[in-house]
A = this chain, B = another copy of it.
Amino acid sequence: MSRSNPRVLATLERAGGFASAQEVYQLMQREGESIGLTTVYRALQSLLSDKIVDVLRRDDGEAIYRLCGDTHHHHLVCKSCGDTVEIEGGAIEKWAKTMAEEFGFREVGHTAEIFGICSKC
């Protein structure tokens, strides 16, 4: 069940740790690697569920995957160039926990993203 194809992971690294499935596929094609689009999608999903990569959405809705360290963090993403800054989310953690408790939820997780236009754009 190890579908986390290492060639896909390597390509994602080569791409600067930030690319869509289609881009990873095209990159591999251009570099002469023989792989199917389906396999790329499957590998990315597997990497995702293994928490080796992270997924975000571009403005047009395309999913982009990126390598991700294991420390829990959030992202500040530029809507224009896609540049990403990893930020601390201590305030969020506390907020999520408080709110969840207030309404009696358990096994709580959360997502949070900030997006805007970066200083370069």
Residues of A within 8 A of B (CB): 57, 59, 61-63, 76, 78-79, 85, 87, 89, 91-92, 94-96, 99-100, 103-119
Tell whether A117 pairs with B110 under 8 Å between CB atoms, given A91-B95, A100-B76.
no
Whether B116 and A108, one on each chain, are in contact in the complex, defined by CB atoms closer than 8 angstroms, is: yes
Copies of this polypeptide in the complex: 2
- A-B CB proximity, top 10 nearest: A104-B119, A108-B116, A105-B116, A112-B112, A61-B61, A91-B95, A57-B57, A110-B114, A96-B114, A107-B117
Whether A108 and B115, one on each chain, are in contact in the complex, defined by CB atoms closer than 8 angstroms, is: yes
Tell whether A113 pairs with B116 under 8 Å between CB atoms, given A76-B103, A76-B105, A103-B85.
no
Instruction: Give the residues in chain B near A118, CB-CB below 8 Å.
Output: 103-105
Q: A106-B116, A110-B112, A110-B115 are in contact. List 4 more A-B contacts (CB 8 A).
A: A76-B100, A85-B103, A92-B92, A105-B117
User: How near does chain B come to A15, taking the closest CB pair, in angstroms?
Assistant: 20
Tell whether A105 pairs with B87 under 8 Å between CB atoms, given A92-B92, A112-B92, A113-B110.
no
Tell whether A109 pairs with B105 under 8 Å between CB atoms, given A57-B61, A63-B61, A91-B91.
no
